[in-house]
Amino acid sequence: MAFGRLERAKGAEPMSDINVTPLVDVMLVLVVIFIITAPLLASAIRLDLPKTDAAKPGDPPRFVTVAVDKAGQVFFDDRPVTQSELGAALQEAARANPDTEVQLRADQGVPYGRVVEVMGEAQKASLNRIGFIADTPDTATEP
């Protein structure tokens, strides 16, 4: 009887690559879960709210424009007015809407005192919201 060597086949070598199939499976399951649950997280309470006039959305804030040119002439909404007419117009605007903003546009050559007089008329009319309008250097026009 002869004893001989049996040929053995070499076994499979270990894999050094990552198996991404289970990772893809888990990610797809998570995506499906998020797709299904996302609409449920949003508040979807359907209500039939009562109707009332008091629930109207507020009007946008109103403003009037007061301009003072280089000569000191005052303009209320682009029409020339005297000091007394300016006071009356500002009081009328305050009666219409107490939250009216006065947008003050004054030429840079106007004396400070004249601007303060216009501001005083606005404050007499109980209009305390005064905005100063100015140009940016790139939009300012040279005469």
Q: Which domains does the chain have, with CATH numbers?
A: 59-132 (3.30.420.270)
Residues 57-72 have a mean pLDDT of 81
Residue 49 has what pLDDT? 64
Using pLDDT thresholds of 50, 70 and 90, give the confidence band for residue 54: low
Question: In terms of Cα–Cα distance, which of 62, 68, 97 is closest to 83?
Answer: 68
- Of 10 and 139, the structure prediction assigns the larger pLDDT to 10
Tokens of 136: 């940016």
Rounded Cα–Cα distance for residues 115 and 132 (Å): 11
pLDDT tens across 3-45, in order?
A: 656 667 777 777 778 888 989 999 999 999 988 888 777 655 6
Residues 39-68 have a mean pLDDT of 70
pLDDT tens across 82-136, in order?
A: 999 999 999 999 998 888 999 999 998 889 999 999 999 999 999 999 998 888 7
Query: What is the value of pTM for the model shown?
Result: 0.54
Residue 66 has what pLDDT? 93
Residue 16 has what pLDDT? 79
The phi-psi region of residue 126 (left if phi > 0; otherwise alpha if psi is between -120 and 50; otherwise beta) is: left
